[in-house]
Structure 1
Amino acid sequence: MLLNLNKKTDRKKAYKDLIFSDHGFLRYKFSNHHGIGKKMYRENQPSPKRIKEWKKSGIKTNINLRGKSNKGYYLLEKEACENNAISMIDFRVYSRDVHSIETILNAQKLFSEIEYPAIMHCKSGADRTGFMGVLYKHFHMKEPIEVAISQLSLKYLHIKQGKTGILDFFFSEYLLYSSQKKISFLDWVSNVYDPVELKENFMKQWSGNPITELILRRE
C-alpha cells in the first residue's frame, strides 16, 4: 500500500523506513560526498534535510540511481526535491549486475541533457555512483576509461572483491579488448559488448566476499 505523506501516521512510517529499514542512521553524519569535475557530485541516499542543503549549494538536478520505489525513503526524497525546486530523475542502475547497451547509451544522453550543477546518488554512494561516475568522466569530461575508472575505488567505499566487482570487470574487459584492437569505448559497447557473455565470464572467476554479500547487502 502506497504511503500518503499528507497523513501523519504515513509520514512517520516513511521516516521509519528511511532511518531504519534503509539504514539512514548510518548516513546521519556521513554523505559520502565527492565532486566529479566542477559540475557533478556523488553521494549516498539523501535525507530531506540533506536535499535542503543541496538547494543552498545550487544543485539543479538529482539523479536517483536506485530507480522508482513505493518505499518511504523514495517518497521523502521526491517530496523534498519538489519542495526545493530540484529536478529529480530516476535512472536505475545496478551494483551487482551487468547493464544493457541501451542503459549505457542512455547515460551518455542523460549527461548531455540535464541541467547543472547536478548530483547523483545510490544507497551507499559507492558502487552505482562509481559506475556512473566512470561513464560521466568518459562521456561528458572526455577522460579515457583507464583514468575514469578511478571512480570505482575503496576511496568511495567500493569493494571490487564481491559481486560489485562486476562493475570493474565490465570496464576491464573493454580495456583488455582495446589493448589488442584499437576501438573506442562507445564502439565497443555498441558492437562488441555482450552483457550475457560478460556476466558468465565474471561469474567463472568470481569468489564471494562476505562483506558485500552478507553484511552490507548491496542492492
Structure 2
Amino acid sequence: MPKTFVDFEKRLNLLFLLVLFSLWQLSSTVAFAKDGQDSNIETCKKKEKADLPNFHQVHPYLYRGGEPSEVGLKKLSDRGIKTIIDLRAKGARTSKEKALAQTLGMDYINLPMSDKAPTQSQVETFLAAVKEGREKDRPVFLHCAHGSDRTGCLIGIYRVSEDGYTYKEAYKEMRRYYFGPQFKELSGAVKARAKN
C-alpha cells in the first residue's frame, strides 16, 4: 500500500475520533445545562411546597393544603384567598396564623378536628363557609398540619355532598393527596355522607 493512503486513513480515523469527542462534549454540556435548569425549577417547586405544602385547587373558590408558612399565607392572600379554615388544635401556631391572616385581611376559622369522624357541627360550619366563599367570591383555603387526612376527609365530604362524587371517586382523590388508609373513621365519615 502506498504511504499516502495509510496517512489518509490515519487522518480519517483521527478526524472521526475528533468528531465523536466533540459530540460527546456537546451532549455533556447540554445535559449539564438541562440538569441545572431542572435543579433550579425543582428548587423553586420545593420552596413553594415548603410555603404551601400539599397545596391544590379543588374549585376556584376552594383550595386545600397543609400548614402554610408566613410566606405561604402571604401567597394565599395574593391569590385572593379570603377565608382560612384551620383544622389544627388551638395553640401558639394557630394563634400566630390567625393574627397574620387577619393582618392580611383574611377571615380565620379554627375548627379543631382529630382523627375521629368530624361532628355534624364541624361539617356544617365547613360547608357553610365554602358556600359563602362560592356565592360571595371569597375563596376558602382549608388546611390541617399536612393537608392529607383531616383535610382529605372534609374535601371528600364536600365532593360527595356538593360535586356528586361517589365514595369511590372521593376516596381515590383523598388517596392522591396522601390520605392515610388507617384513618377509618375519617374515610367512614365520607362513606356515610355519600349514602345520604
Q: TM-score, normalised by structure 1?
A: 0.58
Q: Equivalents in 1 of 2:79, 2:116: separation in Å?
A: 33
Does structure 1 residue 156 correspond to structure 2 residue 177?
yes
Pairing partner for 2:123 from 101, 104, 109: 104
Aligned-residue CA RMSD in angstroms? 2.4
Does structure 1 residue 136 correspond to structure 2 residue 158?
yes
Identify if the C-alpha distance between structure 1 residues 80 and 102 changes in structure 2 by more than 3 Å, giving closer, same or farther.
Answer: closer
Query: Percent sequence identity over matched residues?
Result: 21
Aligned to 2:28: none
Pairing partner for 1:46 from 61, 68, 75: 68
Partner SS, residue 169 of structure 1: helix
Unaligned runs of 5+ in 2: 1-48
Asked whether the 8 Å contact 2:153–2:190 carries over to 1, the reply is no
Unaligned runs of 5+ in 1: 1-26, 179-184, 186-219
**Residue type at the aligned position of 2:118:** H
Between Structure 1 and Structure 2, the one with more helix by share is: 2
Partner SS, residue 152 of structure 1: helix
Superposed displacement of residue 106, structure 1: 3.5
Aligned to 2:29: none
Aligned to 1:34: 56
Aligned to 2:91: 70
Aligned to 1:55: 77
- Residues 1-219 of structure 1 aligned to structure 2 (within 5 Å): 28=50, 31-67=53-89, 69-71=90-92, 73-94=93-114, 96-114=115-133, 116-153=138-175, 155-160=176-181, 162=182, 164-172=183-191, 178=195, 185=196
**Structure whose alpha-carbon radius of gyration is higher:** 2
Residues 93-122 of structure 1 deviation map (CA, whole Å, 9 limit, x = unaligned): 22x212333333333333223452111100
Asked whether the 8 Å contact 1:43–1:122 carries over to 2, the reply is yes
